[in-house]
């Protein structure tokens, strides 16, 4: 492929999120998989403060928290200025300088300000193609409370839950604890409503656990999810790929090294096990795959998502209510140990081909958006 035919890809990573480090790990694997014969790649690093940087090996610079050799940059929400820009200071005055023209952006931004529809909205305003779900799919998939509301409306099984705000916890934590204990028996899980990678999550087996978990969660979000914990649960995950007609992978099972699949169990101690494919009956596998596609389409997801399920241990494959959808991750982990690419690899789609396909889906989605008329011309 000639230089003029290469797709110009901007890979965004880091960000203002508790999942910043996970984003860097995912980006490292994606950057390694992008074929230099197919793509011209521009690295776009976002700091914890939300500052955008470009330059030589941005990923390494952000990993070492050293941006002194990088240049600030931004995307303008105006289709006339499609690309990556910086302000150039000159004696005659400041002017915009285009640093890189971009055909497609690959946001590898887990959590807030990346997976929640905010970056997607900016890219929509700029009329740029991008990998993954749009504004609605990203926002609904990110907020665990809103997501469960939508799932229940579509008759997709979820555990009982409640949402509380930071202000409620700070003003009357005892009342919140009483409400939570009326929701369900222990164990309960307390989670930031808009975060992933198990950041800020607490499994609560006692009242004191619940107290501590609430204050841990409000460090990371103003909305907190409290949900019934399935005491004896198998954690089943499945990968979804596509736009209007998504495909699903084989399911996998997580055997966490700790009490639940915490951040440490995922990324630190390297002792959790992933069973691919998961030892499930064909009937249960089909049910999980069907629920994953229904959930994906219910929130108008696109590109990719990983669907996470809880299956009660000891329940029969067809027992009603024994299987629950936990969440849909619209920018799932892409590290070398992440379940999303592992499941596709086991299903016959290697990591580099998966990245290629995601970029193709982004371009297809942009083409579909371009067909939508923005000006009403009136009827006949």
Task: Say whether 63 sits in a helix, a strand or coil.
Answer: helix
Question: % helix / strand / coil in the chain, to the nearest 5?
Answer: 35, 25, 40
Domain ranges of the chain: 3-130, 141-156+231-367, 161-228
Class for the domain spanning 141-156+231-367? alpha beta
Where residue 96 falls among pLDDT bands split at 50, 70, 90? confident
d(CA 288, CA 237): 9
* Burial zone of 171 (CB within 10 Å; 0-12 exposed, 13-18 middle, 19+ buried): exposed
Class for the domain spanning 161-228? alpha beta
Residue 320 scores a pLDDT above 50: no
Check: CB of residue 331 under 8 Å from CB of residue 362.
no
Strand 71-72 to 84-88 pairing: unpaired
**Top-confidence residue, 154 or 313:** 154
Question: Taking all residues of the chain, what is their mean pLDDT, rounded to a whole number?
Answer: 91
d(CA 139, CA 147): 9
Where residue 269 falls among pLDDT bands split at 50, 70, 90? low
For residue 285, give the H/E element and its range.
helix 282-298
Sign, CA torsion 299/305/307/308 = negative
Where residue 93 falls among pLDDT bands split at 50, 70, 90? confident
**Region 315-326 average pLDDT:** 65
Strand 273-275 to 303-312 pairing: unpaired
Where residue 261 falls among pLDDT bands split at 50, 70, 90? very low
What pLDDT was estimated at residue 161?
96
What pLDDT was estimated at residue 318?
42
Supply the pTM of this predicted model: 0.90
| Beta-sheet strands, E only, within the chain | 7-14, 39-46, 52-54, 71-72, 84-88, 95-100, 104-108, 129-130, 161-165, 188-192, 202-204, 223-228, 233-242, 247-248, 252-255, 273-275, 303-312, 323-329
Architecture of domain 3-130: 3-Layer(aba) Sandwich (3.40)
Q: Which residues contact 105 (CB under 8 A, 6 or more apart)?
A: 9, 10, 11, 12, 44, 75, 123, 128, 129, 130, 131
Instruction: Name beta bridge partners: 203.
Output: 189
């Amino acid at each position: 492929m000639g230089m003029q035919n290469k797709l110009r890809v901007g890979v965004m990573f880091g960000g203002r999120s508790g999942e910043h480090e996970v984003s860097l790990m995912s980006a490292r694997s994606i950057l390694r998989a992008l074929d230099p014969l197919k793509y011209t790649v521009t690295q776009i690093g976002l700091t914890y403060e939300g500052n955008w940087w470009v330059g030589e090996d941005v990923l390494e610079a952000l990993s070492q928290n050293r941006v002194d050799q990088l240049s600030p940059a931004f995307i303008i929400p105006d289709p006339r200025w499609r690309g990556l820009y910086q302000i150039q200071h000159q004696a005659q005055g400041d002017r915009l300088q285009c640093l890189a023209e971009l055909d497609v952006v690959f946001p590898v931004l887990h959590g807030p300000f990346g997976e929640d529809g905010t970056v997607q909205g900016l890219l929509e305003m700029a009329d740029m193609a991008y990998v993954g779900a749009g504004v609605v799919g990203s926002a609904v998939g990110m907020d665990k409370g809103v997501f469960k509301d939508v799932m229940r409306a579509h008759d997709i099984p979820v555990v009982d839950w409640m949402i509380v705000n930071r202000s409620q916890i700070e003003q009357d934590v005892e009342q919140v604890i009483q409400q939570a204990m009326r929701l369900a028996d222990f164990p309960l899980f307390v989670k930031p409503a808009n975060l992933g990678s198990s950041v800020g999550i607490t499994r609560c087996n006692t009242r004191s656990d619940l107290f501590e978990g609430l204050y841990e969660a409000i460090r990371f979000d103003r909305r907190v999810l409290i949900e019934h914990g399935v005491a004896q649960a198998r954690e089943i995950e499945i990968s979804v790929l596509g736009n209007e007609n998504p495909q699903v992978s084989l399911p996998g099972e997580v055997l966490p090294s700790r009490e639940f699949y915490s951040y440490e169990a995922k990324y630190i101690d390297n002792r959790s096990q992933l069973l691919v494919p998961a030892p499930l009956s064909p009937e249960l596998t089909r049910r999980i795959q069907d629920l994953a596609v229904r959930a994906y389409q219910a929130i108008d997801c696109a590109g990719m998502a990983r669907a996470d399920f809880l299956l009660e241990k000891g329940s029969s494959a067809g027992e009603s209510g024994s299987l629950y959808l936990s969440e849909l991750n619209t920018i799932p982990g892409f590290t070398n140990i992440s379940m999303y690419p592992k499941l596709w690899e086991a299903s016959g789609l290697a990591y580099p081909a998966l990245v290629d396909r995601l970029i193709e889906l982004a371009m297809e989605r942009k083409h579909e958006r371009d067909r939508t008329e923005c000006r009403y011309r009136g009827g006949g």
